[in-house]
Each structure stands twice: as C-alpha cells, then as structure tokens.
Chain A
Amino acid sequence: MKLYIPMDSAAKALGADDVAEAVRREAEARDLDVTIIRTGTRGMIWLEPLVEIDRGNGREAFGPVTSKDVPALLDGTLDGHGPVENIPFFARQTRLTFARCGVIDPLDLADYEKHGGLVGLRRAIDLSSAEIVAEVTDSGLRGRGGAGFPTGIKWKTVMEAEAPQKYIVCNADEGDSGTFADRMIMEGDPFTLIEGMVIAGLGVGATKGYVYLRSEYPDAIAVMNEAIRIARDKGALGEDILGSKRSFDMEVRVGAGAYVCGEETSLLNSLEGKRGVVRAKPPLPALEGFLGRPTVVNNVISLATIPVIFERGAQHYADFGMGRSRGTVTLQIAGNVARGGLFETAFGITLGEVVNDLGGGTRSGQPVKAVQVGGPLGAYIPVANFDAPLGYEELDARGGLLGHAGLTVFDDSVDMLKMARFAMEFCAVESCGKCTPCRIGSVRGVETIDRIARGDADAIPLLTDLCETMTDGSLCALGGFTPFPVMSALNHFPDDFATQKEAAE
C-alpha cells in the first residue's frame, strides 16, 4: 500500500512530519509493506495534514490526520473523504498551473514527466525565439505577481534587445500576507518553475537564470536547490538541454528579509549585492536589468504556468477567463476563514462565492467584516461589494487590486482603524528610504491615524491629503499603494474612525 503525505511547509507546520513518522513506526510494528511518498499539498490547508492511501484501487483522502489517528488509518476504520477529486473544494477547480502539485513526489523527475512534465519544453526547443514569445503573447498570460503586465510583451522587449548576456530572474520574494501560491508550487512542483524558466531563456536568448527566494521560506529553498541539482544531473538544465545543443543554467539566491525586494528593481539591486533600494524607471529592467543587462523579471506563478501553455497550446489556456484576464487565477484564501487554501480557477468568480461558498465564512463563526484582496498593499473590501468579479480590470473598477490574488478574511472583531495604522506602520518599517512620500509619509501616516484615534476629526482630511501625496509621488508600489488599505478602511468603515471621538464627546 502507498501513502501520500505532504512535505509542504504548511502541512509540516500542522504536524505532517509527526504523522509520517507515526505511519513508519506503526507499519513496522505490524510488519506491513507500506511505501510513504512525500508530496506537495493539494492546497486544502484546513484538511492538513491530508493523507492519501492507495490500497491498489486509487487514492483516498483522510484529514486532518493526527499521529493518534494512524492505527485507525492503517486498519481502514478511519472516516475519510474519498478521492480528493470528489471533495467539492477541489472538484470545482480548474488546475492548470497546479495540476501536479500534491499529486507527485516533487523531486522525482520521472514522475514529473509521467504527468505531462517536459512536454512543453520539448515543444519549445523546436520553435524559434519569435514563435516562443508569440505563444506566450497569444495565451494572454499577464504577470501573476500583482502588476498584471502582459508577459509576452515583456519577453518580446528582452528578445529584441541586443546584448552579450541576458537573464531570466524569477521573483520568488512572496512577501505579501495572504499569499502562499509561490511557496506551494516551489515546494510541491519545483520542476515546473525550472521548465518555465528554461523556456523563457530559449525564448528571449538568455542562458542564465536566478530565483530570488525569500529567506522566510527555508523549505522552498531546500526543495528548489535539490530540484535544480536533479534537473542538471538528468540533462534538463545546464549544457545541451535534452540534447538540443542549447544551454540554460540557474541558481537560487536567498533574500534577506526586506519586503521591498519584491519590487522588481529593488530585487535586482539586491541580487547585485546592493541595498534593496528601488530604481527609477526607465530604463526598464527588460533593457537594463541585472548587471545592466536585458532581464526578464517574472513572478513564480507566471513562469510556472509557461509549461502548461506550451504543453496544451496558447489557445487552450486563453479559452479560460474573462475580458482581458485570460487563463486561471490561483486564489489564496487566507486569514479568518473556515476552509482556507489554494483555489485555482478561471478568472471571473466573485468575491462572495470565494469567501462564503468556498471558504465557508469565517473560522471564528462570526460574520465577515472585510476582505483584504491583494496583500498588504491591497484594499479592504466590505461585504457590500462581494459581487465584484475577480479579474484585473473588474476589481480595479471597484477600487480594489487583485495583486497576487491573496484574500485575507477578517471577522467583525477587526478594528479597521488599527488595520489602517498597521498598513502605515508596515510601510514605515519596510520603506527602502529612497523617496520622501514613502519614507516620511508613512511615519506621518501613523501619527495622523493616532490623532484620529484620539478623537481629532481634523486629522481625517489630513490623512486623505497625505494618501494622495503618497499615491502620486512615490517611486514604487510600496508607498504608492499603501493608501489602498488605509483609504479603503477609512471610506468603507467610517464608524471605526469615529468611535474614539464619540466616546470623548
């Protein structure tokens, strides 16, 4: 019998290693022939550790499993969920980027190939650079890191630039609270990111790649490093890739705890060994990026989606989605939510469906008050706007920001003034210091919100004015978007900004 137990760090944080150890001991005591395969997570974090057993007629899921459940699990008396594919949260998904995550052993290249891996790369090898770039453009893929810039256009700029050396840089500095898709794919299906980067290299003429991976993700760092080593050993990376006479090599670079390094120009400075301060644009990184060379900087999910686009064709991918948001979005349902996890689906699902139907409301059982969409720089959206469809332009029209598609749910105990203050405080802690609106504005923002908290109503127009200055005058999204959470909190939840005043009166 085969047991599939996740080695994803969220599953481990909830006891997956203990369960694996208990299975090993129990199987040994019973003299059972058990193979334990460590996988990524299926993304249903509320069911983790989620164990799947295959007794010869398909995988059946159980979870959350504790060490104490292991004897019953092996006896076959533990209540389960049946096949994972039948769990409603999973059944409703369209898994393209995450098709293999949680299914395969992340470090088994043969298993990766058995599940469609390297098909895309083999196809790309037979295409010209221009054809590769056109395929990405036709797929409609837009940067999944938050900005939503068309990936094909970025690649075309780098392809057309002439330089002795070009680079592919993967932005794996996933610092936004409420997001974990990058971590999940790197821990659960690292070869798909590697394959995507190789295809990018072939497309734009780059031979060297870097994954800038945040230090807060030690498990992802270990898995990526091992996957790169294996891919190189087996000829899928390095010299003469899959016998094509083409080369591309890559390595992981570990960040050092600076949130602003998720901004692409700051990331490039950090990669060069400098302080992670933002660069003015232009020049675009596509023309003058890492070490002044033309550089593709793409998010993990953008690059990890490339293989499936080449495997199934651009049109297949573009057929999903709505408007100018094509393909699938990897929603991350987080915070105070009953069923949290990763949900990959075509663009266009509404916020209400995600939070109430899929997420099952709050974990605490209290009513939902707000959902922050798009990380610490995203707006707080009130329940009244839950009919908003999740697409880049669609959310923008409602004063929101899809960003990296993280959704953080809050129940009615949340104090929105406190969250607005936190947004300013976070900006002050993480500001790179280069531009004044962000560096000074965030500090003044904390002070101004404290004045409002003390009942000073005159400080409210001051805060609005300050936010306008930060939006218009900041060099990057850190100072420029911090007003999103602050102003959305103020506009949608004015009562939270008035209580102190009323009490004082």
Chain B
Amino acid sequence: MPQTTSIPTDAEIDAILAEHKHREGPLLPMLHALQAEFGYIPTAAIARISHLLNMTKAEVHGVVSFYHDFRERPAGHHVVKICRAEACQAVGGDALAEETLAKLGLDWHATTPNGALTVEPVYCLGMCACGPAAMVDDKVVGRLDAARMARILTEAGA
C-alpha cells in the first residue's frame, strides 16, 4: 500500500491526470491511478479534474464518493477485506468477521491505532467454493479459519 507523508502537489496530480486524458471516459482510470500513487484521492485532485474534464467539483466529488473503492484519506499499511456475501456466510464467514473485528476492537472501515491495518467488508471475491475468503492487500486467501486469520493479523502488524 503506497504511503505519502506530504500532501501531493498540483504538478504531481496533473502529471497523472495527463496520462489518461485522451481516453474515452477517463475519470475512473484517473481516480484509480491517483489512488495507486497516493493511497487515496487527494482533495486537491477534485479541483484539478473538474478543470481538466469540464465538470463541476460537485460532480467529481459525487463520482469519488459513489464508489466503495475510492478513499478520501489514506488507509492503514495493509488492508484486509473480509467477504460478507452469502456463499462465505454459508461456511461461517460472518462469525469469522465478527470475531476478527471484536479481536481488533474495530468496526468495519476502521484502522488499528498503530496504522498497520484497515478492515473492510467486501461482497464477493469469487472464492465461493472455498470460503470463508478474504483479500490481504492484493492476495486472496481461501478456507479461512480463526487460526489462519490470527496469523494474517500478526503478519500485518495489527
């Protein structure tokens, strides 16, 4: 998970936006690229995009806030997404999620106080025949149990 301590400059933001400006429907690719670089969508980017794509700032903000993926502030160093969908529930995914949140003392979308880990819900990872499933950063884990989850949390430094 990329982390930046300083606030991105307009020049840095513009350089990323320029790479996608020629595309048909460029906004989602732009937002993904910004988040890949900075770990979140910097507030300053809203105005830059609005200017570049001739949209109002409200429209750009509307898009950013519509999608679950886009963050308006950085996440923890690692993100664990636990599947809450039906197929994982059928094999105890909901109990595992509740235990995990209770153990960390967090609610969904929250980050551990040391900044190591953010826990998020996800609705289906396509692991429906080998649940319960979770995604640790970009790596999917199947047939999870409490012990395996504990190892994941320890490795993430939570």
Chain B CB count within 10 A is highest, among A291, A408, A410, for A408
- Chain B residues lying within 8 Å of A430, measured Cβ to Cβ, are 123
Q: From B125, which residue of chain A is reached at the shortest CB distance? A: A216
**Alpha-carbon distance between A426 and B94 when the two chains are bound, in angstroms:** 14
**B interface residues, Cβ below 8 angstroms from A:** 24-29, 31-32, 53, 62-63, 66-70, 81, 85-91, 122-131, 133, 135, 138-143
Query: What string of 1s and 0s marks CB contacts (under 8 Å) between A265-301 and chain B?
Result: 0000011111111000000000000110000000000
Contact call B90/A257, Cβ cutoff below 8 A? no
Contact call B67/A256, Cβ cutoff below 8 A? yes
- Give how many A residues have a beta carbon under 8 Å from the other chain's beta carbons: 65
Contact call A46/B88, Cβ cutoff below 8 A? no
**A20 interface residue per 8 A CB criterion:** no
**Alpha-carbon distance between A408 and B91 when the two chains are bound, in angstroms:** 10
Extra 18 A-B pairs, beta carbons < 8 Å, given A257-B68, A376-B123 = A9-B140, A10-B126, A13-B140, A13-B143, A174-B126, A177-B87, A178-B87, A179-B126, A184-B126, A254-B32, A257-B69, A276-B66, A335-B91, A372-B86, A376-B85, A408-B128, A409-B90, A422-B86
Q: From B90, which residue of chain A is reached at the shortest CB distance? A: A335
**Alpha-carbon distance between A301 and B154 when the two chains are bound, in angstroms:** 39
**Alpha-carbon distance between A350 and B62 when the two chains are bound, in angstroms:** 46
**Alpha-carbon distance between A148 and B68 when the two chains are bound, in angstroms:** 29
Contact call A216/B128, Cβ cutoff below 8 A? no
**Alpha-carbon distance between A180 and B87 when the two chains are bound, in angstroms:** 11
Contact call A178/B125, Cβ cutoff below 8 A? no
Contact call A274/B63, Cβ cutoff below 8 A? yes
- Given A183-B126, A215-B69, A408-B86, A273 and B143 contact (CB-CB distance below 8 Å): no
Contact call A335/B86, Cβ cutoff below 8 A? yes
**A interface residues, Cβ below 8 angstroms from B:** 9-10, 12-14, 45-46, 48, 174-180, 182-184, 208, 215-219, 253-259, 270-277, 290-291, 332-337, 340-341, 363-364, 372, 376, 406, 408-411, 414, 419, 422, 426, 429-430, 432
Q: How far is the CB of B83 from the nearest CB of chain A, in Å?
A: 8
11 of the cross-chain contacts (CB-CB < 8 Å) are: A10-B130, A10-B142, A12-B139, A48-B130, A180-B127, A216-B81, A217-B125, A258-B68, A273-B28, A291-B24, A340-B128
Contact call B86/A178, Cβ cutoff below 8 A? yes
Contact call A177/B86, Cβ cutoff below 8 A? yes
- Given A177-B124, A257-B68, A408 and B28 contact (CB-CB distance below 8 Å): no
- Chain A residues lying within 8 Å of B142, measured Cβ to Cβ, are 10, 13-14
**Alpha-carbon distance between A259 and B122 when the two chains are bound, in angstroms:** 10
